Amino acid sequence: MSDIERLAGWLRCPVCGDDLVPVDRLVLGCGNGHRHDVNKRGYASLLGGGSRHLSDTAEMLDDRDRVLSSGAYDPIAHAVATAASGAAPARILDAGAGTGHYLRAVLAAAPDAVGLAMDLSPAAVGRAARSSDRIDGLVADTWRPLPVRSGTADVVLDVFAPRNLPEFHRVLRPAGRLVVVVPRADHLGSLRADGAMLDIPADKADDVLAASAALYAPLTREHVAYDLPVTPELVGALRGMGPSARHASDAGAASDFAAATAPAATRVSVDVLTLVRAPERA
């Protein structure tokens, strides 16, 4: 199977919903005549009229790479891979994939599987697709109907990302798994004390479980928590890799992140939720 055939096997037309197939080396099309270009780097952008949401900047992605390559979040990646592997997945969709770090962790535990890295940021999708020959890329908005075929994923990952629970339900196969990672209120608490990072609502995992109850059955809930030694450079990257970076930049404080006095350690505290797709009600 060629790369474009494998990519097309994930996708449906964002205009009419029909399955997409290759019609040229870098063009996908549907039976209704809609055509969509594939980037030379091997990913498709199916945003249509664009998005009203902001995607991650190159600077945010660089900071995320610094954090993740340091091993700071390896226990989270291990928990995600363990949760996903219970489904013996062959096809894994990572919604809000960023640079593909968690998707690669799942693929490492499932050597015969392939993944689709979906993100609003073309730069993120490009990095993810280049990072592994087992990862296809899709630029799309999670808040919209997903340009992904129904019942095509064994696992959907949603790690620190927006959640479109009805659409995740649609693209999952029967009894497929949704793995969600959300931060607890004390996550990176010592770095939030000065107000440079956004606060986290309490009981975020409970909110996810309540919102998902009509479509999913809860399977496991794991609290991953540990003390993370930090340096000023790691503090700067932790603050710069997420949405807090935009607020700090607006306040003219972004350049002060790495120079801020760093504590010796901070607390990592997240919930890893594993949900099973419930059958559609008659």
Binding residues for Zn(2+): 13, 16, 30, 34
Tokens of 8: 């097309």
Q: How far apart are CA 105 and CA 103, in angstroms?
A: 5
**Cα–Cα separations (whole angstroms), residue 161 to 82, 87, 118, 165, 209:** 19, 21, 11, 12, 15
Tokens of 223: 């609290």
Q: How far apart are CA 206 and CA 204, in angstroms?
A: 5
Could you tell me which residues are annotated as the binding site? 13, 16, 30, 34, 73, 99-100, 187
Q: Which DSSP string corresponds to 79-133? A: HHHHHHHTT--SEEEEET-TTSHHHHHHHHH-TT-EEEEEES-HHHHHHHHHH-T
Total residue length of the chain:
282
Could you tell me which residues are annotated as the binding site for S-adenosyl-L-methionine? 73, 99-100, 187
**Count of CB atoms within 10 A of residue 252's CB?**
8
